[in-house]
Structure 1
Amino acid sequence: MKATVLTKETILDYEIKDRKFPEFRVGDTIEVGQIVKEGNKQRVQLYKGDVIAISNNGISSTFTVRKLSADGVFVERIFPYYSPMIDGVAIVKTGDVRRAKLYYLRDKVGKMARIKEMVLTKEQKEAKAALSKE
């Protein structure tokens, strides 16, 4: 059974900073900057892949990123949205999908596992550029 629902006010009470990530959706290819501590040093490690699921549960919100590793094996990673170990998120390309969860990609191989890129019209690109300037 779940605990009580946390609102934005209670999240701020827990001193968790509001995440200023760009708004990404399922199907988008994103780059997640993760803070990695090695001894007394720390660095940012990038994890680039497709978002296959987003779970909105207040402070427990997560998103799942699936990437192709060096040996041709797909690796999935679940990132907590409000984790202090996430440095930032950048959208690489926007995908055009019709599902909320893309778990069916786990069974696909090769070209069938690709996500179609969303093509924007000239007016949509101008509107998006004007929105990002604000």
Structure 2
Amino acid sequence: MAGFLSMQTDDERIASFSPGDTVQATVRIKEGNRERSQVFQGWVLAISGSGLAKSFTLRKIGSHGIGVERTFLVASPLLEKVEIVEKGRRARQSKLYYTRDLPQRQVRAKLKKRN
């Protein structure tokens, strides 16, 4: 039974990504009696859990330099698709919480892909 449930989460709508990658998540949002899609783009701060409980956290810098974080459940039916915008360089930690305290310029330099 557990194997069947974990197979359902492996979907083509979700790309394979790792912490440090810049990702674009499209989510369905219900406002009143109508639905619309909203795009949230940011770098992957953390991936946690497995199977149906797997989730990931994205962080972006919003207007006026305020950081915005959002956590998405991979198995959520509201999550339409996840696309990789830019692959970051391989992070040494699995949780990039230390980037919360850094200025945006330093975060970009740390996560920038090296050729």
- Once superposed, what is the RMSD of the aligned Cα atoms? 1.8
1:63-101 residue CA offsets vs partner (Å, 9 max, x unmatched): 000011112111111111100110101110000122211
Alignment match of 1:105 (pick from 75, 82, 99)? 99
How many pairs align?
Answer: 111
What SS does structure 2 have at the residue aligned with 1:71?
helix
Higher relative contact order (CA 8 A, sep 6+): 2
Corresponding position: 1:10 with 2:5: yes
- Normalising by structure 1, we get a TM-score of 0.75
- Could you tell me which runs of 5 or more consecutive residues in structure 2 were left unpaired when the two chains were aligned: none
- Normalising by structure 2, we get a TM-score of 0.86
Read off the aligned partner of 2:112 and give its amino acid letter.
K
| CA 1:118–1:42: 2 relative to 1, 3 Å | farther
Distance in 1, matches of 2:104 and 2:15, equals 29
CA shift for structure 1 position 11: 4.7
| CA 1:11–1:58: 2 relative to 1, 3 Å | closer
Higher alpha-carbon Rg: 1
Aligned to 2:50: 57
User: What stretches of structure 1 move > 3 A for 4+ residues in a row?
Assistant: none
1:1-134 correspondence runs (5 A):
7-11=2-6, 18-20=10-12, 21-96=14-89, 97-114=91-108, 115-119=111-115
- Could you tell me which runs of 5 or more consecutive residues in structure 1 were left unpaired when the two chains were aligned: 1-5, 120-134
Q: Identity over the aligned pairs, expressed in percent?
A: 37
